[in-house]
Amino acid sequence: MSNDAPVKKKRKFELDPRLAAYKGVWVFIEHERGQVHPVSWELLGEGRKLADMLGVELAGVVLAAPGEGQPFCQEAFAYGADLCYLMESPVLKDYRNDPFTRGMTELVNTYQPEVLLLGATTQGRDLAGSVATTLATGLTADCTGLTIDLDNRSLAATRPTFGGSLLCTIVTLNYRPQMATVRPRVMGMPERQEGREGRIIEHPLAMAEESIITKVLDYIPDDTRDKPQLPFADIIVSGGKGLAKPENFQLVWDLARVLGAEVGASRPVVQAGWVELDRQVGQSGKTVRPKLYIAAGISGAIQHRVGMEGADCIVAINNDPNAPIFDFAHYGIVGDALQLLPALTEAFRQKLATARRAG
Ligand SMILES: Cc1cc2nc3c(=O)[nH]c(=O)nc-3n(C[C@H](O)[C@H](O)[C@H](O)COP(=O)(O)OP(=O)(O)OC[C@H]3O[C@@H](n4cnc5c(N)ncnc54)[C@H](O)[C@@H]3O)c2cc1C
């Protein structure tokens, strides 16, 4: 192209004046049986950054049974919220799509936030979809990065696309609120600030139980509760297809046992039936954020990487010096995992025994 070619001018974005009143970043505080899902705190940490960039307040949104919500609000302040919108009603005792959608949309229409974040959990995904549809606004699901494009005061939400081979950044310019969901452990946990205070804005919900089609008849605890809790493990030893045979995967279990770690795996290992699906790390598995992630015989494909790159320290063992995992691992060991895993297990065993003897 010649230097004289006409330069296409970027059209200046103008926000629909009717949307200018929308201000503030909101985080849905998800809870069940008195327990707040940790993804809510992770989102408050991220929301704090977005609110500071926009120069607005960060709010938690608590929908709960009468008398249940106040402690959740106090906890939200400790994790960075400036205020909480609290809606309490008997119909909000257990999560159901109808009353939660009605409650959330009523709060949005009344107080007009510009950004609304929810966890990409079963509850969060269910609620986000119906709230976005009811409000006819944009929702970006399963985001891996959130920031503000200050040129047009827009939420820029990044997520994998095309089977995870590309990352795209999505903006919903002329819609409010701009909604996004984020999977647990994708964002870091903010520091809890004991004694931090905020305001509570109470808002009633006028909705009768008779108008709700769904009824809660019983509570059956999730039978996956005792299954591997990879997203919250501090140490994970993960094995990949490079271990060649299912018998060799025992070397991963051995090292994990000595380190008190959880066991993870790449997708081909799960597909081959060497370990159960709950242990798959990556785009179509779990997102993890341990202090230490040891990857043995894993190439580091983007679909695996997006699930574990938030680890504080990644140690990769691979016999190919050009394996992609070495591009982002903090420590790389080029060598045969079948020899290195038992050597590490033995070295850690001895180290721990010495430490125990020394008291
Ligand atoms: C839509 C979609 C979703 C996906 N989701 C996921 C997901 O959630 N998680 C996931 O993991 N993958 C996922 N994948 C698959 C992903 O693209 C890769 O195919 C996969 O991660 C590769 O697994 P791997 O590294 O174990 O195996 P391979 O790619 O076969 O790599 C094996 C590695 O081991 C090394 N190696 C071989 N022998 C040894 C040895 N003796 N010692 C040390 N190293 C050795 C090799 O050099 C190689 O780097 C997805 C793919 C798609 C299309």
CB 183 within 8 A of CB 286: no
Ligand 1 centroid–CA 249 distance in Å is 14
- pLDDT of res. 172: 92
Ligand 1 centroid–CA 340 distance in Å is 19
CA distances from 154 to 53, 73, 127, 224 (A): 11, 27, 22, 38
Widest pairwise Cα distance in the chain = 77
Binding residue positions for FAD? 266-267, 280-284, 297-304, 318
Atom number, ligand 1, closest to the C-alpha of residue 285? 8
Ligand 1 centroid–CA 299 distance in Å is 5
Which residue has the CA at smallest separation from atom 11 of ligand 1?
266
Residues of the chain with pLDDT under 50: 1-2
- pLDDT of res. 226: 58
Q: Do domains 17-211 and 230-357 have the same CATH topology?
A: yes
CB 90 within 8 A of CB 68: no
- pLDDT of res. 265: 98
Residue 122 to residue 135: CA distance in whole angstroms = 20
Q: Which residues line ligand 1 (CB under 6 A)?
A: 163-164, 240-242, 266-269, 280-285, 297-299, 301, 303-304, 307, 317-320, 323, 336-338
Ligand 1 centroid–CA 149 distance in Å is 34
Atom number, ligand 1, closest to the C-alpha of residue 163? 1
* Pairing, β 25-28 against β 31-32: unpaired
185-203, pLDDT tens digit by residue?
A: 889 889 999 999 999 999 9
Range 285-317 burial, b when 16+ CB lie within 10 A, else e: bbbbbbebbbbbbbbbbbbbbbbbbbbeebbbb
Ligand 1 centroid–CA 250 distance in Å is 18
CB 185 within 8 A of CB 231: yes
Which residue has the CA at smallest separation from atom 53 of ligand 1?
163
CATH superfamily of 230-357: TPP-binding domain (3.40.50.1220)
- pLDDT of res. 1: 41
Atom number, ligand 1, closest to the C-alpha of residue 268? 23
Instruction: Show me where the domains of the chain are located.
Output: 17-211, 230-357
- pLDDT of res. 353: 81
- pLDDT of res. 15: 86
Instruction: Give the 3-state secondary structure of residue 324.
Output: helix
CATH superfamily of 17-211: HUPs (3.40.50.620)
Atom number, ligand 1, closest to the C-alpha of residue 244? 38
- pLDDT of res. 219: 84
Give pTM, 2 decimals: 0.76
- pLDDT of res. 2: 46
Ligand 1 centroid–CA 225 distance in Å is 28
Atom number, ligand 1, closest to the C-alpha of residue 340? 42
Mutate to test the pocket of ligand 1, among 166, 247, 251, 284 (most ligand atoms within 8 A of CB): 284
Ligand 1 centroid–CA 267 distance in Å is 7
Atom number, ligand 1, closest to the C-alpha of residue 241? 26
Atom number, ligand 1, closest to the C-alpha of residue 269? 26
Ligand 1 centroid–CA 261 distance in Å is 21
The runs of H, that is alpha helices, within 37-176 are 38-54, 70-78, 97-111, 122-135
Which residue has the CA at smallest separation from atom 46 of ligand 1?
242
* Pairing, β 166-170 against β 154-161: antiparallel
Ligand 1 centroid–CA 246 distance in Å is 15
* H, E, C per residue of 227-294: CCCHHHCCEEEEECHHHCCHHHHHHHHHHHHHHCCEEEECHHHHHCCCCCHHHEECCCCECCCCCEEE
Which residue has the CA at smallest separation from atom 30 of ligand 1?
241
Residue 232 to residue 205: CA distance in whole angstroms = 35
Which residue has the CA at smallest separation from atom 37 of ligand 1?
242
